[in-house]
Structure 1
Amino acid sequence: MSPRIPKRMAGCPVHGGLALPQVAARHTNDRRPPLFGINHPGRVNNLLAGRGCGGCGQPLSRRAGGKYTLLLRPADFTRGYSAEPALHPSDCARYAIEACPLLNGRMTSYRSTRRDLEAERCGQPDCDCRLWANSDDHEARAGASASPVYAAVFRQEDYRLRWGDVREHRDVLLGVALSGIEPLSIRLVTKGDPSVLDFTRALLMNLPLT
C-alpha cells in the first residue's frame, strides 16, 4: 500500500499512487510517465535559490525556531553540501522516506540498467525534455549498492548555499551548504549496502551505521 500523501503535497501530480516531488523530471504531457529518482536541474536550482521544499515546492520555514531536513549520503557530508533541495521535516521528508524504495529499504541497489535520458525525450517542442542529457553520475550508479542515507535536521537560520566551479564553468550553484554547520539531529534512515568507501566516509564523519 502506498503511504498517505501529506496535505502539503496535495497539489503534486500523482503517478502509481505516489506523489511526484517537485524536483522530479517530468514531461509537459501528463500522459507520459514521470521520472521518479531523476531530478530536473532547472527545478532543483530554483528550489535551492528560493529556499523551496524539494517535495511540495512551497517555501521552507523562515520563522524563529523553524527547521529543514536534508537527506544525505556519506559522500554529501565529506564534500560539504547537498545537491538536492531541503524538505519540510514533519511531512515532506517523512513522505520521501516512506515512499522511496531506496530510502525505505525495499531496494538495496540502484537499477542495474542505466536510464537513458536522451531516449526519454518525447519530441514535443514545448517540453524541456529536449534538454535532458545523460550524466556520469547516472552511469556510475547503475547496479551499484545503495549508500546509507541520513536525515539531518538543521535550523532555518543556518540555511546557506554552496557555490563552486564545475569544469569550465565558474560560480555554479552546487547545493545547500553543510560545512561548518551543526545539525540539530542526524538519524540513519536506511543502512543500504555500504561500499568500503562509504563505510570509511561514515567513520571519518562520525556517522552512525546502525
Structure 2
Amino acid sequence: MSPAIPVRCLARPLAGGLVVPWVSLIHNGHAVLGARRAFLQRLCQICSQPLQERFFVIVRPADQQQGYSPEPALHPECQPYTAANCPMLNGTATHYRTRPVLASHPAGRPCTDPSCPCPELTPDEGHTARSGRPADRYEAWMIATRHYRLVPHQEKPDVPVGISLNVPILRKRILREAVLPAEHAALLDLLRTALDLEP
C-alpha cells in the first residue's frame, strides 16, 4: 500500500491521484523543470517548502562517483511518498525513457512571452547517456541541512549542477537495485539453475 500524501503536499495539485512534484512546473500548458530555483532556495522538490533540519537526496552510483546528486532535495516525509510512487524508484520502470533532444526552451519550444521568467535550460548530459538504458541502483541519503552544499557548473559558477555528497551522511536507504542487462540476467539465471537456487 502506498504511503498517504504527506501533509506538506496537501496543497499540491494531483494527477491520477498522485502529487505533482513542485519541480514539474507548468509553463503555458507545458511541463518545465524548476530544479535551479529549488537548489538555490533550499526547497523540497515535491512540496516546494524550505528544507528543515534534515533532508534526503536521491543517489545513483554515477552520482556518488561525481560527488553530487543532480536532483533537488526532499523532506524526510516527502521522500518515502516519492519512492513509493515514482516508477524509476519503486522498480516498476526497468529502463530509462528515451527522450527527444529539447529545443532551447525547457518546455521544448520557444517562449514568446517577453515578461516570462522562464527557467534556464541546463543541459543534462546524464539524461542523454541514460536514455533507453537499464535502470540504475537508487539510494536515498539523509544529510543534515547544515551540510547543504551546492556544486557549481564548471563553466557557469552561478548555475548549480547538484547537491554535494562529500559531506557527512546520516543514513542510507536502498530504494531499488540496478536492472541487469539482458545478457547478464541470462547468465545469472543459468548460474541459479546450476546451483539449484531460488530466483
TM-score in terms of structure 1 length: 0.72
Structure 1 residue 133: Cα displacement: 8.5
Structure 1: state its 5+ residue gaps: 196-210
Q: Please show how residues 10-29 of structure 1 align to structure 2 within 5 Å.
A: 10-29=10-29
Q: Which has the larger radius of gyration?
A: 2
Aligned to 1:58: 49
CA distance in 2, matches of 1:60, 1:134: 26
1:97·1:189 contact (CA, 8 Å) conserved in 2? yes
Aligned to 1:198: none
Aligned to 1:7: 7
| CA-based RMSD | 2.9
Matched residue type, 2:159: V
Structure 1 residue 54: Cα displacement: 0.9
CA distance in 1, matches of 2:119, 2:146: 38
2:36·2:159 contact (CA, 8 Å) conserved in 1? no
2:3·2:80 contact (CA, 8 Å) conserved in 1? no
TM-score in terms of structure 2 length: 0.75
Structure 1 residue 5: Cα displacement: 1.9
1:165·1:171 contact (CA, 8 Å) conserved in 2? no
* Residue among 96, 99, 117 paired with 1:114: 99
CA distance in 2, matches of 1:157, 1:133: 26
Aligned to 2:165: 178
Structure 2: state its 5+ residue gaps: 182-199
Q: Structure 1 stretches (4+) deviating beyond 4 angstroms? A: 126-135
**Does 2:177 align with 1:191?**
yes
Matched residue type, 2:61: P
Q: Percent identity?
A: 36
1:117·1:133 contact (CA, 8 Å) conserved in 2? no
